[in-house]
Structure 1
Amino acid sequence: MNKELLNAIEFLSKEKGVSKDIICDSLEAVLITAYKKEPDANPNAVAELNRTTGDYKILAPKTVVAEVEDEESEISLSMAHIMDSSYEEGDVVNVNVTPKNFGRVAAQAAKQVMIQRLREAERNMIYDEFSNRTDDIITGIIQRVEQHNVYVDLGKAEAVLPASEQIPTETYAIGQRIKCYVVEVRKTTKGAQILVSRTHPGLLKRLFELEVPEIYDGVVELKSVAREPGRRSKIAVYSRDANVDSVGACVGPKGARVQNIVTELQNEKIDIVKWDEDPAVYIANALSPASVVSVTVDEAEKTSNVVVPDYQLSLAIGKAGQNARLAAKLTNWKIDIKSESQAAELANEAPAVSEVPETDDLLSELAVPAVAETPAVAEEQAADAEAAKE
């Protein structure tokens, strides 16, 4: 029977994916529950299960005394010496109190407790496993679609892809394999509730980490991500090694790396730009594929004025302002874009500087003498005039 018990523990461990120690602890709790249903059960009893042999017994701690007054908590010195001659008064002895008929009836009564504890252990194990995968990518198979929510089978658990986290341009079919970003793992009475997303910017970041070894190794750093899910995205990358081209590493040979990500996101367009510590250069790069003539920045207000060629204005702004909007999200700067002709018109419309009137005219208008004349100066001027006449 003990061998059968060990085999059952082994089977449960493999079937439920729960460690043997957790099952043995649960079984000990079940044995105590079953024992306490017995008449005259000792309330202080504990169960002990030998993990090697499968033997189990119920032990009640009792204090060694000269005369027993309470049989539930005390044992006589003579009885203790039968167990071990080294016991003395005051020692605590674990006495085997396993009932003779302890078996089928008691085990049946405790069966539900065992099932409940195993379920709790399984739920906790699943929660611990997936809570460690928050902010990471998981791959699953779409199991069903109910009330606009997509349920993804992850093997041991089920994830929910709510409507708010779905890409508007995507369609989801039962049996389809998809990659999702783990947003949150909640612990509920029914087990772990896993919330996943297809629109989160982190999904794009993790996909590049999977496809680009340089990002995973830390040689290339992904500085920022801006997404309009299903339509277009921009990422800014920076290389810590001067010999490694950050943009080229992300694009891959013949564009293979970025194309795999585009395919996974069902043809979402991705712009890869080079990050720069100079805000003006960074903003110019972020407006790619448009070329930029000049960028002026106000670091205090985090605003910038960008001038582009006339024929590039629509490209810089993008359809419905998409390119400019993504560039602003990527750089975290407010961007004002103007064409060269618009910038020239604004420069010409600037008010001209008003001419400063002559000093004499200004002073006469104000009725203030230009120089205060002294009597000596007046006499010198009169003498000079007489000499000029002669």
Structure 2
Amino acid sequence: MNSEFLEALSDLEKEKGISKDILLEAIEQALLSAYKRNYGTAQARVHIDRLTGVFKVYAVRNVVEEVTDPRQEISLAEARAIDPRYDIGDMVEFEVTPRDFGRIAAQTAKQVVVQRIREAERNIIYEEYASREGDIIYGMIQRVEQKNVYIELGKTEAILSQNEQMPGEVYKPGQKIRAYIVEVRKTTKGPQILVSRTHPGLLKRLLEMEVPELQSGEVELVSIAREAGYRSKIAVYSRDPNIDPVGACVGPRGVRVQNIVQELNGEKIDIIKWDPDSSKFIAAALSPAKVVAVEVWEEEKIARVIVPDYQLSLAIGKEGQNARLAAKLTGWKIDIKSESQMEQIYKEEGYGDYYEQDYAE
């Protein structure tokens, strides 16, 4: 090693952000391990001169009254012959640099530097993507292995596991894809970026990309309920009475929402205006079904919704999907009844005709 090697380390410090001192300390430790492996000295130390790059190996011995292990100990008399200031318990160092150790040193230093460069690059990538958790990545599918999809992101890749894939989607190498960053893990092999196509956050970010009013804060996204690949409901609101939050999300001729539907392979999206009146919000959440009336129990967060008989199946939805999404969107437990069902309930409870008594306009 020489001054040129030190200059190279200084250049690395500037380019990669790896501390020169940390590199030198790591090289010293690696050289010490190499020395012990080849020469078997129990106690030793390696030092690299920070100005010249010259390295030296020192054997280290403990000063004792009576020597039992000459490889690790030195008598007090021998130590004081070197320097009268030595005393029992002190450590004495002897230079033992092997003549042929330069080749080993060069190889070891190269290995350490390469390893540290890799670690630094991995840390840079980790920090970059860890700060983007909750954001969208856009990349190209590199391969599909054991039902996991690997997405190329330049110097690294993201993993779309089977559990995070949308039902019915087909993933092929070379295909461009967007996904939501769920988590970034630090592993010995580098950062592991876990992404999702089913997370509600993907829909949220896509909306923010398409709707300028969401980016500016003129329109607020209050809540999202999503069953990926099938249907989603989003509730939006604007404090400005001149802005239609639903219209802003739908866009001219529906172009904004259609762009998102296309990105999500035809997933249906219901956009609903949030209302501070719980009854009105719950009724809107059951769209496209028409609601006759809503009874609410605020403390229990329970609502009973009455719909026309012919709208009952639409309000509930296929396999209960519409009702389930409305409950997720509003945060309320929703019980849906048809008018005829409610009429029967009211008669059994002795209230007469429920519609004329309570909901006639």
In structure 2, relative to structure 1, the CA distance for the partners of 1:32 and 1:188 (3 Å cut) is: closer
Q: Confirm or deny that 1:155 pairs with 2:154.
A: yes
Give how far 1:352 is off. Answer: 7.2
Match of 2:180 in 1: 181
Q: Distance in 2 between matches of 1:352 and 1:34?
A: 92
Q: Distance in 2 between matches of 1:289 and 1:305?
A: 17
In structure 2, relative to structure 1, the CA distance for the partners of 1:155 and 1:139 (3 Å cut) is: same
Give how far 1:49 is off. Answer: 5.5
Deviations 1:70-111 (A, max 9, x none): 989x9xxxxxxxxxxxxxxxxxxxxxxx99999655212332
Contact 1:27/1:114 (CA < 8 Å) preserved in 2? Answer: no
Q: Confirm or deny that 1:221 pairs with 2:220.
A: yes
Match of 1:292 in 2: 291
Q: Confirm or deny that 1:199 pairs with 2:181.
A: no
Deviations 1:258-294 (A, max 9, x none): 1111111111110010111211111011011122111
Contact 1:141/1:176 (CA < 8 Å) preserved in 2? Answer: yes
Q: Secondary structure at the match of 1:199?
A: coil
In structure 2, relative to structure 1, the CA distance for the partners of 1:13 and 1:168 (3 Å cut) is: farther
Contact 1:144/1:150 (CA < 8 Å) preserved in 2? Answer: yes
Q: Secondary structure at the match of 1:143?
A: strand
Q: Distance in 2 between matches of 1:168 and 1:352?
A: 47
Match of 2:335 in 1: 336
In structure 2, relative to structure 1, the CA distance for the partners of 1:46 and 1:222 (3 Å cut) is: farther
Match of 1:92 in 2: none
Give how far 1:176 is off. Answer: 0.8
In structure 2, relative to structure 1, the CA distance for the partners of 1:176 and 1:107 (3 Å cut) is: same
Q: Confirm or deny that 1:209 pairs with 2:199.
A: no
Q: Distance in 2 between matches of 1:352 and 1:246?
A: 41
Match of 2:68 in 1: none
Q: Distance in 2 between matches of 1:166 and 1:107?
A: 49
Q: Confirm or deny that 1:135 pairs with 2:128.
A: no
Give how far 1:136 is off. Answer: 1.5
Match of 1:29 in 2: 26
TM-score in terms of structure 1 length: 0.70
Structure 1 outlier segments of 4+, above 3 Å: 1-14, 21-25, 31-40, 42-50, 55-60, 68-72, 98-105
Q: Distance in 1 between matches of 2:351 and 2:243?
A: 51
Match of 1:109 in 2: 108
Q: Distance in 1 between matches of 2:255 and 2:19?
A: 47
In structure 2, relative to structure 1, the CA distance for the partners of 1:2 and 1:297 (3 Å cut) is: same
Q: Distance in 2 between matches of 1:71 and 1:187?
A: 51
Q: Secondary structure at the match of 1:159?
A: strand
Counterpart residue type for residue 174 of structure 1: P
1:4-153 counterparts in 2 under 5 A?
6=7, 18-19=16-17, 21-22=18-19, 25-27=22-24, 29-30=26-27, 33-34=30-31, 37=35, 47=48, 56=53, 105-153=104-152
Give how far 1:313 is off. Answer: 2.1
Q: Distance in 2 between matches of 1:243 and 1:2?
A: 71
In structure 2, relative to structure 1, the CA distance for the partners of 1:11 and 1:45 (3 Å cut) is: closer
Q: Confirm or deny that 1:326 pairs with 2:325.
A: yes
In structure 2, relative to structure 1, the CA distance for the partners of 1:329 and 1:211 (3 Å cut) is: same
Match of 2:263 in 1: 264
Match of 2:304 in 1: 305
Q: Secondary structure at the match of 2:259?
A: helix
Deviations 1:112-169 (A, max 9, x none): 2222222222222222222111121111211111111111111121211111111111
Contact 1:22/1:121 (CA < 8 Å) preserved in 2? Answer: no
Deviations 1:344-388 (A, max 9, x none): 2322333379xxxxxxxxxxxxxxxxxxxxxxxxxxxxxxxxxxx
Number of equivalences: 315
Structure 1 gap segments, 5+ residues each? 61-67, 75-97, 354-390
Counterpart residue type for residue 218 of structure 2: V
Sequence identity percentage: 58
Contact 1:182/1:195 (CA < 8 Å) preserved in 2? Answer: yes
CA RMSD of aligned residues (A): 3.4
Q: Secondary structure at the match of 2:325?
A: helix
Contact 2:13/2:19 (CA < 8 Å) preserved in 1? Answer: no
Q: Distance in 2 between matches of 1:338 and 1:194?
A: 46
Deviations 1:48-74 (A, max 9, x none): 667xxxx646699xxxxxxx96989x9
Q: Distance in 2 between matches of 1:69 and 1:267?
A: 87
Q: Distance in 2 between matches of 1:8 and 1:124?
A: 19
Contact 1:31/1:107 (CA < 8 Å) preserved in 2? Answer: no
Match of 1:170 in 2: 169
Contact 2:31/2:46 (CA < 8 Å) preserved in 1? Answer: no
Q: Distance in 1 between matches of 2:98 and 2:239?
A: 72
Match of 2:358 in 1: none
